[in-house]
Amino acid sequence: MRIEKSAEIQFGGAFVDDLLYILYWLEFRGLALVNHFRFLAVTAIILSFTGCGGETGKSETETSTAPPLTAATLGEQAVLSVSEYLSAAPYASADQSYGAKLAQMCRACHSFDKGGSNMIGPALYGFFGADAGSREGFEYSPVLRDAEFVWTPRALDAWLAQPGRFLPGNRMTFAGVSRQTERDALVAYLLAVTTADGSAQ
Backbone angles phi, psi at 200, to 5 degrees: -65, 135
Alpha carbons 175 and 48: distance in angstroms, whole number: 11
Confidence at 56, pLDDT banded by 50, 70, 90: very low
User: Looking at the whole model, is its pTM more than 0.85?
Assistant: no
- How far is CA 75 from its chain centroid? 21
Confidence at 11, pLDDT banded by 50, 70, 90: very low
The domain ranges of the chain are 2-57+71-193
Confidence at 120, pLDDT banded by 50, 70, 90: very high
Closest C-alpha to 147, from 134, 163, 161, 165:
134
H/E/C letters for each residue in the chain? CHHHHHHHHHHHHHHHHHHHHHHHHHHHCCCCCCHHHHHHHHHHHHHHHHCCCCCCCCCCCCCCCCCCCCCCCCCCCCCCCHHHHHCCCCCCCCCHHHHHHHCHHHHCCCCCCCCCCCCCCCCCCCCCCCECCCCCCCCCCHHHHCCCCECCHHHHHHHHHCHHHHCCCCCCCCCCCCCHHHHHHHHHHHHHHCCCCCCCC
Is the per-residue pLDDT at 132 higher than 70? Answer: yes
What is the Rg, in whole angstroms, of the alpha carbon atoms belonging to the chain?
Answer: 17
Burial class (CB in 10 A: 0-12, 13-18, 19+), 130: middle
Fold topology of 2-57+71-193 = Cytochrome Bc1 Complex; Chain D, domain 2 (1.10.760)
**pLDDT tens-digit map of 90-104:** 999 999 999 999 999
Average pLDDT over residues 107-118: 96
**pLDDT tens-digit map of 159-197:** 999 999 999 999 998 999 999 999 999 999 999 999 987
Confidence at 37, pLDDT banded by 50, 70, 90: low
